[in-house]
A = this chain, B = another copy of it.
Amino acid sequence: MATIVEVARMAGVSTSTVSHVLNGTRPVRPATRKRVAAAIEKTGYRQDAVARAMRRSRTDSIGLVVSDAGEPAFAEMVHGVEHAAAARGLTLVLANSAEDPEREERAVSTLLARRVDGLILAHCADSGRAVSTRLDADDARPVVLLDRVFDGSPHDQVGADNRETMRRLVTHLRGAGHRRFLLVAGDQRVPTLAERRQGFRDAIPDAELGEQTIVDSVDTASVRADVVAALRTGGATCVIACSTPLAVVGLECLRDAGIATPEQIAFAAFDGFSHSDLFRPTITTVRQPAFEMGEAAVSLLMDRIATPEASPRTLRLNQRLELRESTEDYRFREAESAPIA
């Protein structure tokens, strides 16, 4: 690659003039500008982002650390972040923590060393606040927390209205006659999951709270065992899974136990599955605005860089409740299909 020096020489100007032409940072006589442009064209010159970053101490890049790049919801967030970043002329440096706090820490460290202008973080489950606070101590790069949002966090955050949507979902299901639920709540160290569980409690009257079954074990095997046990004990007319992985376990348990949805039990899931409408049973789903959350995170990050002193904001994007046949009122269905008495 040609450097700025060659362009300058070819155009018969100094390097500084080339730089100013490139960046529009001071007036340049049209004639010289033309010559510079021609030289750039001819040499195929392009600014060296590394040297530029060095000099300006800005990289025009942002770092994103997600906890599971394979999971579709996170993939959509990545997609959204990339989209918003590219639109602003920023490049995206991506790292995956694979739900491992140590890898998360390394990833953050690497990104900081690369001098990204800002950081977007989807914390892994048990990262604690170590990373988050280390960020402040080290050198204060702007940070936005994504999806996994903490009360009283010193950072900007963007999450979903998990608690409210769960409340809405449960209220709807109660309206359809359900009184006893099996909530597959998952790892309560994950804020998202804790919020959803809280929303569940919000929607259940105190008197009935004792009758609800909540599975909050962490590893898949335990979840499976607990769900199987809960299904055997019986009582629940509706299963609510708080994430896609949990829904997978839940549906597997139902299938293996030969329990049909929605005929024998209702089922709803957060995050859910793609193309739910094409397959049976179609699953009632709370859909995250994952792409938009990614975009919003970039937006918050840019605002923060522009005004470092503003007080931190937490954005909650609305989730969509997609009602499908897996939660159709089973009493109603029974009544209809039963022979006329």
Contacts and interface: CB of A to CB of B under 8 A. Distances in A.
Please tell me the size bucket of the interface on A: 35 or more
Interface string A122-166: 000000000000000111000000000000000000000000000
A255 interface: yes
B46 A54 contact: no
Contacts of A1: 138-139
A47 interface: yes
Given A278-B252, A279-B279, A91 B114 contact: yes
Nearest to A52: B113
Nearest to A74: B75
How many copies of this protein are present in the complex?
2
B95 A93 contact: no
Nearest to A82: B96
A204 B112 CA distance: 56
Interface string A65-104: 0000110100110110011001000011111101000010
Contact of A93 (B72, B93, B96, B255): B93
A93 B78 CA distance: 12
Interface of A: 1, 44, 46-51, 53-54, 59, 61, 69-70, 72, 75-76, 78-79, 82-83, 86, 91-96, 98, 103, 107, 109-115, 137-139, 248, 251-252, 255, 273-275, 278-281, 291
8 contacts: A48-B115, A50-B54, A69-B78, A70-B76, A83-B98, A86-B107, A255-B278, A273-B278
